[in-house]
Chain A
Amino acid sequence: MQIPQLEIIILGKGVIALSENVVKAKRKNSKINKNYYGYLFTAPFIIVFLLFSFYPLIYTFYLSFTNMTMMSKTYKLVGFENFAKLFQDKFFVQSLINTWKIWLLNFIPQIGIAMLLAVWLTSSRLKIKFVGYWRTIFYLPNILMPATIAVLFFNFFSFYGPVNQVGVRLGIFKDAIDFFRNSGWTVSIVAFIQWWMWFGSTLIIIMAGMTSISQSFYESAMVDGANSWDMFRKITLPLLKPVLVYILVTSLVGGMQMFDIPYMLTDGRGSPNGSIMTMNILMYMKFSSNKGHIGAAASVGVMIFIITCLSALLIIKLLSDKTDRKTNIKGKRG
């Protein structure tokens, strides 16, 4: 009884070894034969990317050196004339300042609150319940249509709107405030909407980063007698850096292109006093003006592109010093 079983086992091992050999041979073979599928499978991306993303970008750069308008059929190359005009244009300088101002006003509270909430929700001491539900609700504003949000908040903050009704009734303001005629209020409302839409998303990313930090770091720090602030500063922050760089860069790229909310909240020209006219709105205004200054609008687009890329590179360079470059790259990949 014993011997045949053994034989079967040996035989079985032989079959497995044999099939492994076959697989190895086939694998070698198939690798040589099938790798050209790599080109085929990436071809749709490459073709569409070149046609619909890369070419329009290059073409925008080209247009920024021309004096093309919608009305005239002919145009000529004018060199850096559009750019020279931009830097003398007080609207452009203002839109540049506005864009940075609105972005910083929403980003600083956004990262601060998200960080605080992430520490709380992941704390093993506090043991907050329903973590999943909290962050699901905080993320909700992010998936709503910006067009809807802009019109909604326009109604909320209009002169006869609910904010004034409640504010006056509770005695918070003496009289109803004409929010959209006051630059300070309007900028704050835009920054608030941006914060409202994005802090949940930032929270989720930071939480994922925090939970991927090994608990053993905290345990050994606790043995050494560290308090929670020390642990946050010496363990959480340094290990979270790649995630923070990711958040900072993606938020910056989005913030520099801000359009929907400031465009739809007031008259589409950044009123009052051009206080919420972002660079993207200025680009659209030049494009949709009576004459349709294609060249000038393209030069604004090119400037946004350059400013964004330089700032992003600067952030990555400043925040990733040599010692943790490796982890940083890993973090950006994911």
Chain B
Amino acid sequence: MNYSSRTKMNRGLVYLVLTVLLIICVIPIWILLVNATRSTPEIQQGISLIPSNNLMVNWKNLTNRGFNIWRGFLNSAFISVSVTILTVYFSLMFAYAIHVYDFAYKKFLYGLILVLVMVPTQVSIIGFYKYMSMLNLLNSYVPLIVPAIAAPGSIFFAMQYLESSIVKELIEAARIDGCGELTIFHKIMFPIAKPGAVTMGIFAFVGSWNNFFTPFVLISKMKKYTLPMLVQTLRGDVYRTEYGSIYLGLAVSIIPILIVYILFSRYIVNGIAMGSVKE
């Protein structure tokens, strides 16, 4: 009796803490979305959790001042989609090679990936910048997209995933049937690895979509700005008093990610767990 009532009390306390944390997580995002629909005077009067009807006015104010959000959107989408495709394809290819073939420096490569996951990468940005300027690739998307072929984090995940899902007998059977190695990789391995590929793809997409530092250093032409770079300009003087428009700009930048999250949160949450711990 005493024991179970104590458990009940503890349970109540736990739900209280969880609810407080839930509010802390959701409220800032909710206020952001609501404020995108309110006018500046309304926002200055105080916070509200109910949307208003000033969305269109905010949108006009936002886009009339040179904030070309569609271009930023397209630029970011182009980069992120390319990065996602390259990362998923080549990470799986690498992991497949590690698990299926025996070759000389296989063990070394495996160890290299484990080390690379834990090495800081942004610190070489100065050398990267100078190198890209020598190759005339500043203000180009090549340095933002091509390195996705060698993404240690994704490869690490792919190696974990394929270790348990590759069926060697199936590969052998396909070989006997006369399939080439690349065909086996495309036609047999890919369907098996599809759930893993989706998870990897989401992480690659979100990472690239949110990436600020590398494009910020390499790209200076306004026309080529990515979405995070555009969002950053919302802090400047142009929108100083147009709070509604600022919030709308911010809302537009996170809505695609929110949609991705609502659709794929199961993959994302399981993916984080899998990337770090083998169950």
Q: In the complex, how many angstroms separate the beta carbon of A132 from the nearest chain B beta carbon?
A: 7
Contact of B70 with A by CB under 8 A? no
Interface pairs (13), CB distance under 8 Å: A31-B102, A44-B94, A44-B149, A60-B124, A117-B21, A120-B14, A132-B269, A146-B228, A169-B46, A205-B276, A301-B127, A309-B120, A333-B278
Say whether A138 contacts B21, CB under 8 Å: yes
Q: Known contacts A137-B25, A138-B25, A148-B253; is A298 also within 8 Å of B232 by CB?
A: no
A280 to B14, CA, bound (A): 39
A104 to B271, CA, bound (A): 26
The contact of A332 among B114, B181, B243, B266, by CB within 8 Å, is B114
A31 / chain B contacts, CB cutoff of 8 Å: 102
Q: Known contacts A39-B103, A139-B269, A334-B277; is A264 also within 8 Å of B235 by CB?
A: yes
Contact of B88 with A by CB under 8 A? no
> Beta-carbon contacts of A47-71 to B below 8 Å, as 1s and 0s?
0110011011111111100001000
User: Which A-chain residue is minimally distant from B260 (CB atoms)?
Assistant: A143
A125 / chain B contacts, CB cutoff of 8 Å: 7
For chain B, what secondary structure do more than half of its interface residues adopt (helix, strand, loop), or is it mixed? helix
Q: Known contacts A128-B11, A145-B253; is A205 also within 8 Å of B150 by CB?
A: no
User: Which A-chain residue is minimally distant from B110 (CB atoms)?
Assistant: A333
User: Which B-chain residue is minimally distant from A307 (CB atoms)?
Assistant: B120
Q: In the complex, how many angstroms separate the beta carbon of B267 from the nearest chain A beta carbon?
A: 11
A253 to B119, CA, bound (A): 7
Which of B44, B155, B273, B279 is packed against the most chain A CB atoms within 10 Å?
Answer: B273
A251 to B128, CA, bound (A): 24
A288 to B255, CA, bound (A): 32
Number of interface residues of B (CB under 8 A): 95
The contact of A260 among B106, B172, B213, by CB within 8 Å, is B213
Say whether B90 contacts A126, CB under 8 Å: no
> Beta-carbon contacts of B209-251 to A below 8 Å, as 1s and 0s?
1101100010000000001110110110000000100110010
A147 to B269, CA, bound (A): 23
- A residues 165-208 touching B (CB-CB < 8 Å): 165-166, 169, 196, 200-201, 204-205, 207-208
Say whether A30 contacts B94, CB under 8 Å: no
A39 / chain B contacts, CB cutoff of 8 Å: 103
Q: Which residues of A contact B (CB under 8 A)?
A: 22-23, 26-27, 30-31, 34-42, 44-46, 48-49, 52-53, 55-63, 68, 113, 117, 120, 125-128, 132, 134-141, 143-148, 150-156, 160, 162, 165-166, 169, 196, 200-201, 204-205, 207-209, 211-212, 243, 246-247, 249-250, 253, 256-257, 259-260, 264, 280, 283-284, 287, 294, 297-298, 301-302, 304-305, 308-309, 312, 330-334
Q: Which of B27-35, B57-65, B192-200 contacts A (4 or more CB under 8 A)?
A: B27-35
A332 / chain B contacts, CB cutoff of 8 Å: 114
Say whether B257 contacts A257, CB under 8 Å: no
Q: A55-B127, A334-B274 given; name 18 further pairs at CB < 8 Å.
A: A36-B103, A38-B100, A48-B149, A56-B125, A56-B128, A60-B125, A137-B22, A137-B25, A143-B210, A145-B209, A154-B235, A207-B273, A249-B118, A257-B123, A259-B122, A264-B232, A301-B125, A301-B126
Q: In the complex, how many angstroms separate the beta carbon of B44 from the nearest chain A beta carbon?
A: 6
Q: In the complex, how many angstroms separate the beta carbon of A305 from the nearest chain B beta carbon?
A: 5
A245 to B279, CA, bound (A): 17
The contact of A145 among B117, B175, B254, B261, by CB within 8 Å, is B254
Say whether A147 contacts B228, CB under 8 Å: yes
A-B pair count, CB < 8 Å, reads: 293
B14 / chain A contacts, CB cutoff of 8 Å: 120, 126, 128
Say whether A155 contacts B22, CB under 8 Å: no
Q: Known contacts A38-B102, A138-B25; is A143 also within 8 Å of B257 by CB?
A: yes
Say whether B210 contacts A145, CB under 8 Å: yes
Say whether A35 contacts B101, CB under 8 Å: yes
The contact of A256 among B120, B126, B213, by CB within 8 Å, is B120
B90 / chain A contacts, CB cutoff of 8 Å: 44-45, 48
Which of A45, A246, A247 is packed against the most chain B CB atoms within 10 Å?
Answer: A45
A284 to B231, CA, bound (A): 19
User: Which B-chain residue is minimally distant from A334 (CB atoms)?
Assistant: B278
B21 / chain A contacts, CB cutoff of 8 Å: 113, 117, 138
Say whether A304 contacts B123, CB under 8 Å: yes
A148 to B120, CA, bound (A): 24
A70 to B142, CA, bound (A): 22
Q: Known contacts A56-B131, A155-B247, A212-B279; is A48 also within 8 Å of B25 by CB?
A: no
The 6 A-B residue pairs with the shortest CB-CB distance in the complex, in nearest-first order? A60-B127, A38-B101, A38-B103, A208-B273, A41-B97, A59-B127
B228 / chain A contacts, CB cutoff of 8 Å: 145-148
Say whether B261 contacts A45, CB under 8 Å: no
Contact of B24 with A by CB under 8 A? yes
Say whether B123 contacts A60, CB under 8 Å: yes
The contact of A253 among B118, B210, B257, by CB within 8 Å, is B118
Say whether B109 contacts A42, CB under 8 Å: yes
Contact of B26 with A by CB under 8 A? yes
The contact of B146 among A52, A156, A309, by CB within 8 Å, is A52
Say whether A34 contacts B123, CB under 8 Å: no
